């Protein structure tokens, strides 16, 4: 793509997402859903079909040229989620969030494994056993981006929201372990030998090194911020450190026979966690970073929508396996969250509604699917896994944010009138200031 075409694509993506969000508001749908639909409309299967340069994306390859923006956006999303791990809050919900985060992921994987392995025995030539096992692990992953955007858009507050964000964050770590174990077992079935290094050692090292790198960068970030006093420079330092952390998280290395990689989501979450607990002015700075990243997040979801491959609907086998996967995963997330919440003695609303808010699925799951697709040992099974995951992501990303909004509204954590307008909030703030000024003048 030429520079002018890149600029046209960026501007079209941003404006299409924003304009469609106004229609979504009339239909009482979350803005995230509008951004994803906007991506589909300007993607290769709708406007892209016209093959007009600059008017939509003509191919998936064109969308992938903006992968850097999506990677940076995911880093900032993870950084924002890290802000939810304040020690003051973790003392209240840390134990509950940990129990729920681990158990719901494990239960989901076991349920999806059981459903897909049963389907394997019914049609072994269509769904091989290794593919069924890997899809079970992919099912554990939840999309932090869509969940966070719904919470922020509607300013959700309450017990469900307080537990939701730490649980979504934990999903990445738990999902990594489950996927690595399942991936190792699946490859062992195909080649006939088991590697304990790839099944246990590598995922544990990935988590340990990711947490370590994120913690180190968090302390350096907090130290560096103290050298600057203006808001604009502190914001610039914040943006620079998050991007630097994302860059460092892309390096990998070997320790003996173990191949060690970093999880950029975990690294950036830890960066945000350390910063918000160490820096005494972190809340104000986090708020400013959130405002700066708003256009970045819109682009991320529009690109995500453009990447969804509608062609998967043309294969009845993918649709059948995908439907079974979606039903089993939804049942696993709901029952797993409900059971684990009850065991950890959570609020009744958490027991009822948390599982519904965990349905969105996207980036982490697609990353796992791409890893499976790139494994030579799995052959064509990798493509099957990727297509089924794409089918599920397409459904979950469009319906998931809407279901999250409904669940949080039922739990009483979203204003039913949906008063989230910036203009309305500003008017209220100004009225309050005028009232305080009037009271001060009368007192004098």
Is the pTM above the cut of 0.85? Answer: no
Looking from the CA of 433 toward its CB, the CA atoms found within 13 Å total 6
Do 338 and 422 contact (CB within 8 A), yes or no? no
pLDDT per residue rounded down to tens, the chain (444 residues): 777 888 888 899 999 999 988 887 787 777 777 888 888 899 888 888 888 776 788 888 888 888 888 888 878 877 887 776 777 666 666 788 888 888 999 999 999 999 999 999 988 888 888 888 989 988 888 877 777 778 888 888 888 888 887 888 777 678 777 887 787 788 777 776 656 666 667 777 877 888 899 999 999 999 998 888 888 898 899 999 999 999 998 888 888 777 787 877 788 888 988 988 888 878 788 888 878 888 888 888 888 778 777 776 777 887 888 899 999 999 999 999 899 889 888 888 888 888 888 888 876 777 677 667 766 667 778 778 877 887 888 788 778 888 888 888 888 888 765 444 555 555 555 666 667 666 656 555
């Amino acid at each position: 793509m030429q520079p002018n075409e890149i600029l046209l694509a960026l501007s079209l993506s941003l404006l299409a997402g924003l304009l469609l969000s106004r229609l979504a508001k009339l239909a009482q749908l979350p803005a995230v859903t509008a951004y994803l639909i906007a991506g589909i409309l300007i993607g290769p299967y709708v406007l892209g079909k016209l093959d007009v340069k600059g008017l939509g994306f003509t191919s998936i390859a064109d969308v992938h040229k903006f992968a850097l923006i999506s990677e940076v956006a995911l880093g900032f999303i993870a950084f924002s989620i890290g802000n939810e791990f304040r020690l003051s809050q973790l003392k209240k919900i840390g134990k509950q969030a940990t129990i729920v985060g681990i158990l719901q992921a494990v239960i989901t994987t076991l349920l999806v494994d059981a459903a897909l392995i049963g389907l394997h025995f019914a049609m072994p030539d269509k769904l091989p056993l290794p593919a069924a096992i890997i899809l079970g692990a992919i099912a554990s992953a939840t999309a932090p981006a869509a969940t966070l955007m719904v919470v922020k858009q509607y300013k959700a507050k309450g017990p469900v929201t307080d537990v939701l964000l730490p649980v979504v964050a934990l999903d990445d770590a738990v999902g990594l372990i489950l996927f690595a174990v399942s991936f190792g077992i699946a490859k062992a079935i195909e080649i006939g030998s088991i590697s304990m290094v790839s099944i246990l050692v590598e995922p544990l090292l990935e988590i340990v090194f990711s947490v370590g790198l994120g913690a180190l960068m968090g302390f350096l970030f907090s130290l560096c911020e103290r050298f600057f006093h203006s808001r604009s420079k502190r914001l610039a330092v914040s943006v620079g450190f998050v991007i630097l952390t994302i860059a460092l998280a892309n390096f990998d290395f070997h320790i003996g026979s173990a191949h060690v990689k970093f999880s950029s989501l975990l690294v950036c979450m830890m960066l945000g966690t350390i910063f918000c607990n160490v820096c005494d002015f972190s809340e104000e700075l986090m708020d400013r970073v959130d405002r700066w990243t708003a256009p970045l997040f819109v682009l991320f979801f529009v690109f995500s929508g453009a990447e969804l491959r509608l062609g998967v609907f043309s294969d009845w086998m993918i649709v059948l396996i995908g439907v079974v996967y979606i039903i089993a995963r939804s049942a696993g997330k709901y029952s797993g969250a409900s059971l684990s919440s009850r065991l950890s003695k959570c609020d009744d609303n958490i027991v009822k509604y948390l599982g519904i808010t965990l349905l969105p699925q996207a980036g982490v799951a697609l990353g796992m699917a791409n890893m499976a697709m790139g494994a030579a040992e799995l052959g064509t099974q990798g493509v099957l896994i990727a297509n089924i995951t794409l089918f599920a992501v397409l459904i979950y990303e469009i319906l998931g944010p809407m279901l999250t909004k409904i669940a949080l509204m039922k739990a009483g954590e979203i204003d039913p009138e949906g008063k989230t307008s910036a203009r309305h909030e500003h008017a209220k703030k100004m009225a309050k200031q005028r009232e305080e000024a009037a009271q001060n003048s009368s007192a004098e």
